[in-house]
Chains A and B, each alone.
Chain A
């Protein structure tokens, strides 16, 4: 039997071999536990692709049909798996096609490492073929970026990249590697990054802030929680649930917080924000204590800041110091990972039922149901509503599916009405609102959680922004279910035109192709439904399918999403019609 030191020595020897920078890239990815990357080849990244070929048994590469698709797929993968998504592209246009996905990952705190090829270092600054200053371009939209010009720097830089992408408040990192660094040789030795001296991923929790928070919580008469994606990123779902159940405090969510607490939970009072629920929006301006848990007070959540929760004390549980007091002044800021801070606070909070207060949410729900929800879920009009499609999906998936939504009316309907039992189930582009996100993100979401049903809900507009990813689905046979809610309009923009621009429908009416034929062209099972009596059966068939499946639902053209807080209005001015 070998002793420990012998084995260690052997291992060190085994990894201390001269290899190329390109091979080092692959070995770094493997060392980080990556087994799946998305990307698109080209001149400046060819050495890395050559190694991907050699390592194809250990590291699976998915060829998307556009680099933007690679970034969104990596995001979808990260969002359902909790791991870092990886995307690879060539220099110049390959790199610039990454920009939208990187910006999306930055604003939605998605851990992602993007690797781009770059022209040889001797050509940098010479306007060489496919040279683009992607470091300059991506600086404001990355958590960190770095250009590598020497092969020997690859291991340390990639180790840092993964550490930065996943630690603290996660985000995208871009590593640009010149072609000579890919060809150059190095002694490969990899050790994971454990810390960077100038970077504090998780700030310390001040015990005093916990005490102050407990005092405020225990004396509140009408407290309310608003939780965001911080709960999911911090894997604090159980802690949140226990906190909610012990304290009895009603909890609302931001669009990215959705699914952190089951939608059926009796104290889950719905979504805040522009198209959120009536109760939590109205009552934001009536509560006496607002507990913001892992959320950042986005303007689509707060509406007019001058009139946002002015009557309430605010406790902000947050990991990123720059978010505290950025938009809303916190009376108490509890810094740290919400998993820890909620855990510490749990034994100290009192149990209560807040019966009258919780009843207020229910009363508001009843009003919203009468004015909005009833007609959306059970329409009496002839045309199909988006809401009844979601209701149909809920019936088939029983709240166990991952729902990936694009951007527009269908997104708001999906987030308002989809039912979720499990966390990491709602994948949508929240902060950037990127049309074209859903189709490629669904591919990644399914690969990140292969055991789960993944249903993409997409508008006819956004679908056509990344429709070429049907090719990726065809090639990989990844069994995603695609639902296009076709209203032949850029519906959300049309809604604004109707409400705020006197129905001047400037460039929002779509002349659409035959989506079913297109899907069939990619050999994907496809169906179109336009009548209520055919809807449920079609959804059932789609969900039952073991293969990718495309379902187009022709919905009412000019429906609107309500409730709605008009831009610049106060949350309490939320409109029901």
Chain B
């Protein structure tokens, strides 16, 4: 089976130990995460992890099974690229003097759909949100001029289909009382 990019969404109780438990599942199998982010979800007191990983479908099924098995995980799903809307955000810190010394850089910025977050006499910061290849493209264009700092966030994603977490939670509530 071919390796593919999968995105895993994990809905969990807000529990500090879970990050450890979830990452241990990957560590144990020597699977490198492309990224992992955690945030509040659309439901009060429910957390959501978004994990990007390149594995075979068979592997991702087993991983999701192991993640779901953790007590405080409500549900875990895996998605193919076509099932989700996903983005990453990158910050580029660039020396301000380049704007004057290297005129072409102004065109790069103009065509990049990036936002200027801040400008100081020494540096300015560009924020670019998009697909990985868009962020990468901007990186390759700016890199020759010299980047003072660069950082990129993990993938965040929402699915095109419904997730039904609320229904699952309601069902839990009625079943367990």
Contacts and interface: CB of A to CB of B under 8 A. Distances in A.
Contacts of B175: 195
B28 A326 contact: no
Interface string B32-50: 0000000000000000000
A325 B60 CA distance: 12
Nearest to A135: B17
Interface string A178-204: 000000000000000011111100000
A140 B28 contact: yes
Contacts of A326: 62, 65
Given A140-B21, A145-B17, A197-B13, 20 more contacts: A135-B17, A140-B24, A144-B71, A146-B17, A194-B176, A194-B177, A195-B176, A196-B176, A197-B74, A197-B169, A197-B176, A198-B13, A198-B73, A198-B74, A198-B172, A199-B71, A321-B65, A322-B68, A326-B62, A326-B65
B49 to A, nearest CB: 13
A325 B72 CA distance: 23
Quick one: which of A139, A196, A320, A322 has the most chain B CB within 10 A?
A: A322
Given A322-B65, A326-B62, A326-B65, A139 B21 contact: yes
Given A139-B17, A140-B24, A146-B17, A320 B172 contact: no
A125 interface: no
B131 interface: no
B68 to A, nearest CB: 7
Contact of B173 (A144, A197, A320): A197
Nearest to A193: B176
B23 to A, nearest CB: 10
A136 B68 CA distance: 20
Quick one: which of A197, A320, A324, A325 has the most chain B CB within 10 A?
A: A197
Rank and list the top 3 A-B pairs by shortest CB-CB distance, nearest first.
Answer: A195-B176, A197-B172, A322-B65
Interface of B is mostly: helix
Contacts of A135: 17
Interface string A28-56: 00000000000000000000000000000
Contact of A325 (B61, B71, B73, B74): B61
Given A197-B172, A198-B172, A322 B73 contact: no
Contacts of B13: 197-198
Contacts of B74: 197-198
**How large, as a class, is the contact surface on chain B?**
20 to 34
Contacts of B176: 194-197
B96 interface: no
Contacts of B72: 144, 198-199
A482 interface: no
Nearest to B21: A139
Given A197-B169, A197-B176, A198-B172, A139 B69 contact: no
Contacts of B56: none
A424 interface: no
Nearest to B169: A197
Interface in B149-177: 169, 172-173, 175-177
Nearest to B61: A325
A494 interface: no
A145 B18 CA distance: 10
Contact of A322 (B21, B66, B169, B173): B66
A322 B17 contact: no
Nearest to B64: A322
Given A145-B17, A195-B175, A198-B172, A322 B69 contact: yes
Contacts of A139: 17, 20-21, 24
Quick one: which of B13, B24, B66, B176 has the most chain A CB within 10 A?
A: B176
A143 interface: yes
Quick one: which of B28, B69, B73, B74 has the most chain A CB within 10 A?
A: B69
A195 B68 CA distance: 16
B9 interface: no
B13 to A, nearest CB: 5
Contacts of B12: 198
A143 B72 CA distance: 11
Nearest to A320: B69
Interface in A287-345: 320-322, 324-326
B63 to A, nearest CB: 10
A33 B177 CA distance: 22
Interface in A133-185: 135-136, 139-140, 143-146, 164
Contacts of A325: 61-62
Contacts of A164: 71
A210 B65 CA distance: 22
B14 to A, nearest CB: 11
A196 B68 contact: no
27 contacts: A135-B17, A139-B20, A139-B21, A140-B21, A140-B24, A144-B71, A144-B72, A145-B17, A164-B71, A194-B177, A195-B176, A195-B177, A196-B71, A197-B13, A197-B74, A197-B173, A198-B12, A198-B73, A198-B172, A199-B71, A320-B69, A321-B65, A321-B68, A322-B69, A324-B65, A325-B61, A326-B65
Nearest to B72: A198
A196 B175 CA distance: 10
A145 B175 CA distance: 24
A199 B71 CA distance: 5
Nearest to B66: A322
Nearest to B171: A197
Nearest to A145: B17
Contacts of A143: 71
Contacts of A322: 62, 65-66, 68-69
Contacts of A136: 20
A105 to B, nearest CB: 16
Contacts of B17: 135, 139, 145-146
Nearest to A321: B65
A207 B61 CA distance: 23
A194 B69 CA distance: 18
B71 A198 contact: yes
A507 to B, nearest CB: 29
A199 B176 CA distance: 10
A381 B22 CA distance: 55
Contacts of A324: 65
A324 B61 CA distance: 11
Nearest to A143: B71
A321 B65 CA distance: 7
Interface string B74-91: 100000000000000000
Contacts of B61: 325
Contacts of A321: 65, 68-69
A387 B172 CA distance: 52
